[in-house]
Structure 1
Amino acid sequence: MANPFLPNWEYIPDGEPRVFGNRVYLYGSHDLAGSDRFCDYKLKVWSADINDLNNWTCHGDSFHTRMDRDHASDTPWSDKELYAPDVVEKDGKYYLYAYIVHSKGCVAVSDRPEGPFRLVSQYQVPENAEDILKEGIFTDPGVLVDDDGRVYIYCGYLKSYMAEISADNMYEILPHSYKADIIPEDGFFEACSPRKVGDTYYLIYSPKNGNRLDYATSQSPTGPYQYGGTIVDNGVDYPGGNNHGSICQINGQWYIFYHRMTNNTVMSRRACVERIEILPDGSIPQVEMTSLGFEKSLSPYQPTSADVACVLKGGCYITERNVLERSVVQITKGCVIGYKVFDFGEDNSSVTMEFSAKVRGCGNKGKMKILIDDYRSGEEIGACDIGPDNGIVHAVVKSVTGIHAVFFVFDDEYQGYFAEFFKDRPICELESFVFHK
């Protein structure tokens, strides 16, 4: 399953991946297509068998702040949007930690990891607690159940903080457990997500430039935490925006779950994943965004949907036409669309192969150059002429073998004195493509 790895119509940002039993569960916010705001008034849960990560199951709605056609509200004190939840297991029960915008947050519980979750309580804080705790909001809660059974919550927007939660009821903040600025203030934005790997505690978070997911480590759940580096940056050669996610080990392989933007906004975010490595010294090398999802490579000989692009440059972007169709739109002169990576195999018996792409015309003419490995200095293996109408465009291209990234670089056919007036006119919209021999 390529990135984004959930079905076309689903928008799950702020993903917290958790393995319970033989399934991996994705908990996150719920965005809407083409929305002008973040998040929805409900949460949804998706999961997959750890041995079949290409088939994800939707378990439906799990928690609500507003009544809808099938559910009552779970929060009588607030009808604000739900942001960035987390779920942990304790003593056979599954606890949801909900952040409700500008409202007191809460804890809910279920006997099943997929929910639905029923309200237990708002956060309960000591009478003499610090002001930030008294608010009871707990922005972007990330929760850690340690090996000794103690429970910690990590939160914050612009300033990070943590506290210990009663392991007896899972919602009461213990007195004198508050700690501020566990991530230095000058480097923290939001999105705390704690994990323990061996004897090392990790905090994955979004730093001040929000495109990235960074991490810090400690030998204690209460810190101090030392900066480790960047894991993934969703703004490299792509329309970036806020990022939120975490790491998860599935069948011995580590992954970073994160999200990407669509519809030319910082909203409408979709769940993505990349393979990562945790080195013996505890460091996590930065990985690039790819089109792979849970795959090790993509097949160029199977149709590829345009919306799995991991490189978008020059103002083009992915948008949803309907729940089944997505295109890269606003493709103008100089735009670059890239995909990483395809395995072309080892068959070198042919000098050439064919390439076909499904496009929507924009009433103009242009050219789509096909490059491998790099959009600036890579080898051009062929090019398609783009016409003004909808249809399939073809090209005979050089046959290649091995593993390569593929890039499309666009140019128009306007020359002379008036060319400047046409440089921002869309050439086409890209829907899908395939190589064939």
Structure 2
Amino acid sequence: MPNPYLPSWEYIPDGEPRVFGNRVYVYGSHDEAGSDRFCDFKLKVWSADVNDLANWVCHGDSFHTRVDRDHASNTDWTDRELYAPDVIEKDGKYYLYAYIIGSVGCVAVSDRPEGPFELLSTYQVPDHSDPLLTERIMIDPGVLVDDDGRVYIYCGYLRSYMAELNAANMVEVLPGTFQKDFIPVEEPFSFFEACSPRKVGDTYYLIYSPKQGSRLDYATSKSPTGPFEYGGTIVDNGVDYPGGNNHGSICQINGQWYIFYHRMTNNTVMSRRACVERIEILPDGRIPQVEMTSLGFDRSLSPYRYTPADYACVLKGGCYITERNTLERAIVHIVDESVIGFKYYDFGEDYSSKTMEFTAKIRGCGNKGTMRILLDDAAEGTEIGSCEIGPGDGIAKAVVSCVTGVHSIYFVFDDGYSGYFGEFFEGRPICELEGFVFHK
């Protein structure tokens, strides 16, 4: 399943992946298309069979802070937005931890990993605790159940915090366990937000977002309470793409490690969609940084199947993905020198053909231009053909060189205006791209 791996209309940022039984579950915030704020007042759960990552099932809403047409509120003291949940299993029960704006937060419980979850309690803080614990700092909680059954919570915004929870009730912060700045704010750590703990072998990983915002970095330790050593960056959603905040974690599925994260749409940092990349954890524990791709869970994409425009992983020159409605998404504001890229396609082996055809579905903007098609690099890649773009809606077609092997694809746009009056057309959109396909 390509990126974004959930249905195109679904906005699940801050994804925490968890494997329970034979299914992988993604717990995240819930954004709205084109919203002017992060998150809304409900949480949703999606899952897939570990042997079929192309087919994700929606289990519906799992928790609410406001009444809607189908659900009552799960909280009677607040109706504010829900942020960045995590879910862990302990003794056959599934516990959901979430941040609620302006609140101490909450813990909810279910007999099933998909929920729905019923409120258990807010966090219980010991008397005479550090004042920070009573000042609603449990932002973006990530929870770890260690091999010995002890439970730890990691959280924070601008500064990192952690504590041990009472494993008997899962809500009480144990006296004397609260730590500040277990991930420093200084370089190279630069902690900002989005704590997510994992244990791999005998190593504890803390995945988080640094001050640079668009990255997911990690730190490691031999103890759940630290000290932690800085590891590096795993993925950066702002490389050649309109970046924003980032939040996610690592997960092993059928022996393959992945990093779950999100990307922005609708020319806003609020409408975020779930993405995933394959990663490798080296024998020494390091995680090399990976690039953003269109692949998702796939090893490669087929150029001979229609590619929706919102699979793009490179957007440069002011263009961006937007949602017209539940069924339609396009790349808009394509202007002179805009670059759109997709990674990676397996063209196969065909040594009998010299050419093939390319077809793109576009929406005209009343202007004209050219879409050049390149392999592997937008600046220095091999140009295999080009399409003329007219002022109206329709199909842009071209005969292009036959391609073999695995390649990324880039579209580079020229506005088609020159001469004395060319400057008057600068910045005017050339077209909107809805999708494309190669065929022979």
Q: Which TM-score applies when normalising by structure 2? A: 0.99
Which residue number corresponds to residue 374 of structure 2?
Answer: 371
**Contact persistence 2:387–2:397 (CA under 8 A):** yes
SS in 2 for 1:103: coil
Q: Deviations over 1:264-320 (max 9, x none)?
A: 000110000000000000000000000000000000000000000000000000000
1:82 equivalent in alignment to 2:85: no
1:218 equivalent in alignment to 2:225: no
Q: Provide the C-alpha distance between the structure 1 equivalents of 2:431 and 2:197, rounded to a whole number of angstroms.
A: 44
What is the 5 A alignment of 1:350-361? 350-361=353-364
1:48 equivalent in alignment to 2:48: yes
**Contact persistence 1:124–1:136 (CA under 8 A):** no
Where does the alignment leave 5 or more consecutive residues of structure 1 unmatched? none
Which residue identity lines up with residue 179 of structure 2 in the other structure?
Answer: K
**Contact persistence 2:6–2:274 (CA under 8 A):** yes
SS in 1 for 2:164: strand
Which residue number corresponds to residue 36 of structure 2?
Answer: 36
Q: Provide the C-alpha distance between the structure 1 equivalents of 2:145 and 2:254, rounded to a whole number of angstroms.
A: 21
User: Which of 309, 312, 329 is 2:315 aligned to?
Assistant: 312
**Contact persistence 1:102–1:137 (CA under 8 A):** no
Q: Provide the C-alpha distance between the structure 1 equivalents of 2:137 and 2:318, rounded to a whole number of angstroms.
A: 37
1:115 equivalent in alignment to 2:115: yes
Which residue identity lines up with residue 188 of structure 1 in the other structure?
Answer: F
SS in 1 for 2:423: helix
Q: Deviations over 1:373-417 (max 9, x none)?
A: 000100100000000000011000000100000000000111112
What is the 5 A alignment of 1:356-435? 356-435=359-438
User: Over aligned residue pairs, what C-alpha RMSD do you find?
Assistant: 0.6
Which residue number corresponds to residue 6 of structure 2?
Answer: 6
What is the 5 A alignment of 1:182-193? 182-186=182-186, 187-193=190-196
**Contact persistence 2:42–2:82 (CA under 8 A):** yes
Which residue identity lines up with residue 343 of structure 2 in the other structure?
Answer: K
1:61 equivalent in alignment to 2:64: no
Alpha-carbon distance, 1:339 to partner:
0.1
Alpha-carbon distance, 1:135 to partner:
2.4
Q: Provide the C-alpha distance between the structure 1 equivalents of 2:137 and 2:10, rounded to a whole number of angstroms.
A: 27
Alpha-carbon distance, 1:348 to partner:
1.7
Alpha-carbon distance, 1:221 to partner:
0.1
Q: Deviations over 1:120-161 (max 9, x none)?
A: 001000011111211244000000000000000000000001
What is the 5 A alignment of 1:30-429? 30-186=30-186, 187-429=190-432
**Contact persistence 1:355–1:396 (CA under 8 A):** yes
Q: Provide the C-alpha distance between the structure 2 equivalents of 1:183 and 1:417, rounded to a whole number of angstroms.
A: 58
SS in 2 for 1:420: helix
SS in 2 for 1:261: strand
Alpha-carbon distance, 1:347 to partner:
1.2
Q: Provide the C-alpha distance between the structure 2 equivalents of 1:214 and 1:64, rounded to a whole number of angstroms.
A: 30
Q: Provide the C-alpha distance between the structure 2 equivalents of 1:420 and 1:36, rounded to a whole number of angstroms.
A: 34
Q: Provide the C-alpha distance between the structure 2 equivalents of 1:131 and 1:261, rounded to a whole number of angstroms.
A: 36
Q: Provide the C-alpha distance between the structure 2 equivalents of 1:140 and 1:418, rounded to a whole number of angstroms.
A: 53
Q: Provide the C-alpha distance between the structure 1 equivalents of 2:87 and 2:259, rounded to a whole number of angstroms.
A: 17
Which residue identity lines up with residue 325 of structure 1 in the other structure?
Answer: E
Q: Provide the C-alpha distance between the structure 1 equivalents of 2:424 and 2:283, rounded to a whole number of angstroms.
A: 56
Aligned residues: 437
Q: Provide the C-alpha distance between the structure 1 equivalents of 2:420 and 2:163, rounded to a whole number of angstroms.
A: 66
Q: Provide the C-alpha distance between the structure 1 equivalents of 2:273 and 2:367, rounded to a whole number of angstroms.
A: 31
SS in 2 for 1:47: strand
Where does the alignment leave 5 or more consecutive residues of structure 2 unmatched? none
SS in 2 for 1:229: strand
SS in 2 for 1:132: helix
Q: Provide the C-alpha distance between the structure 2 equivalents of 1:161 and 1:194, rounded to a whole number of angstroms.
A: 12
Instruction: Using the TM superposition, name which of 96-105 and 132-141 deviates more.
Output: 132-141
Q: Deviations over 1:62-102 (max 9, x none)?
A: 00001111111111111110000000000000000010011
**Contact persistence 1:194–1:202 (CA under 8 A):** yes
**Contact persistence 1:123–1:172 (CA under 8 A):** yes
**Contact persistence 2:137–2:157 (CA under 8 A):** no
Which residue identity lines up with residue 6 of structure 1 in the other structure?
Answer: L
**Contact persistence 1:262–1:317 (CA under 8 A):** yes
SS in 1 for 2:115: coil
SS in 2 for 1:400: coil
Which residue identity lines up with residue 331 of structure 2 in the other structure?
Answer: V
Q: Provide the C-alpha distance between the structure 1 equivalents of 2:191 and 2:382, rounded to a whole number of angstroms.
A: 41
